[in-house]
Amino acid sequence: MSREYYFHRAGTLISKRKLPFFRIVFISIILTLSSVWAVTAYFGISKEQDRLASNLEISVIIKNNTDTTRIVSLAESLKNYEQIQMVKIISPTLATIEFEKELGEDTDALFNESPFQWSIVFTMKPEYCNHQTVSSILADLGTKSIIEQAVFNDKAAGALFARSTMVLALGLAGATGIIVLFLGFLSYVFRSELLQSPAEWFILQTLGAGRMFIAFPHVLFASSACLIGIAFGGCIAIPIQIASSGSQPWVMDVPFVSIMSAYGTVALLSLSTAIITAFSVSKGK
């Protein structure tokens, strides 16, 4: 009996209060699009951050007259580090060739003998490219007797590490701000809808109806509007994503799980807002 009443009453509310219903639908669409945008933007920024991190090269300069086998052995040991992505040995000959390519001149005309030493260049995996990990690896390399020094662009690295922290902080702050703002709008609109029934609520309470009996049809009313809004928002987001892929191909690489998590988060928060608002209003009555 109660179940049939709840759904019948919710349907009656939808048919009689179309404007509040469509307001909630509209807010849910905006909230859904905003959450998808936040997930996509965070993915894009993280992808760019990973690209920059993978380009950060650390050069290990080997002391002169070091046996080649020891250099190769050190390079192989670096490959065993979980945090290291790529290791490359650069001989004096290869360094000379790369230098001539960059300078556009023959080094024989500039130097009597090659000024370059053997070196090992390696890059970090993006997820490990942070100050603590890099410092730990450099400290470990400092114990190797064949290493003269380790060289990398510390200013670029510092900016990269700081940017990584900033991206995470701004991403969380932005997503939280968007969600709080639109959930506030949703609660306000739903509360306005609830307060349109003072006489009905008074009669039901006078007859001894419980808060669940009074509030639940309104929860179904708001939940239906939210789910419709989320569905419409998802349908709108798909062509926007496809259209954006022409200039930003990476948007198609956003994990499907992340997009669905955004939808699920919006649905969960919207439902929670509807329940809290409905029962808080009914308690106030």
Q: Is residue 157 in a domain?
A: no
Examine the domain organization and report whether 106 and 169 are in the same domain: no
Same structural domain, 12 and 84: no
**pLDDT at residue 222 in the model:** 84
User: What local confidence, expressed as pLDDT, does residue 228 receive?
Assistant: 92
How many structural domains are present in the chain?
2
Could you say which of 98, 126, 152 is where a domain stops? 152
Q: Give domain status of residue 17, yes or no.
A: yes
Q: What is the pLDDT of residue 161?
A: 58
Q: Do 260 and 124 have their domain in common?
A: no
How much is the pLDDT for 165? 62
Query: Within this chain, do residues 258 and 196 fall inside the same structural domain, yes or no?
Result: yes
d(CA 57, CA 38): 31
Q: In 3D, which of 50, 72, 73 has the Cα closest to residue 124?
A: 50
Q: Tell me the pLDDT tens digit for each residue of 169-185.
A: 666 676 677 777 777 77
Can you give the pLDDT at residue 157?
Answer: 61
Residue-level pLDDT at 210? 58
Give the DSSP per-residue string, 74-135.
HHHHHHT-TTEEEEEEE-HHHHHHHHHHHH-S-GGGT-SS-----EEEEEE-GGG-SHHHHH
CA distances from 23 to 94, 157, 231 (A): 67, 48, 15
The model carries a pTM of 0.64
Confidence at residue 235, expressed as pLDDT on a 0 to 100 scale: 92
What residues of the chain score a pLDDT lower than 70? Answer: 1-2, 52, 103-114, 153-172, 174-175, 190, 192-214, 281-285
Position 81 scores a pLDDT of 87
Which domain range does residue 182 map to? 2-50+162-284
